[in-house]
């Protein structure tokens, strides 16, 4: 049996609107949606949480975390 280890790095400098545990769980629960060979950033929206993230080697880099309600105002 092989064990896969998910590495998640949060690079946001401002206060997080969700706990690190909630962010990790959102990434882990949606790994099939973000598990690609591309190194391009993607937007993952999961209910109340929105994240800009990308793969770097064997880890997921979370660049930005926000409430999905704030997404529209952030993208103006």
CA distances from 62 to 8, 42, 71 (A): 7, 10, 16
- Tens-place pLDDT, residues 5-59: 899 999 999 999 999 999 999 999 999 888 777 778 999 999 999 999 999 988 9
- Fill in the DSSP letter of residue 36: -
Structure confidence at residue 2 (pLDDT): 63
């Amino acid at each position: 049996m092989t064990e896969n280890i998910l590495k998640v790095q949060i690079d946001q400098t401002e206060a997080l609107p969700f706990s690190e545990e909630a962010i990790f769980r959102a990434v882990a629960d949606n790994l099939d949606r973000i598990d690609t060979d591309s190194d391009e950033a993607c937007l993952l929206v999961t209910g109340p949480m929105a994240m800009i993230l990308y793969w770097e080697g064997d880890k997921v880099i979370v660049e930005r975390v926000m409430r999905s309600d704030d997404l529209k105002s952030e993208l103006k």
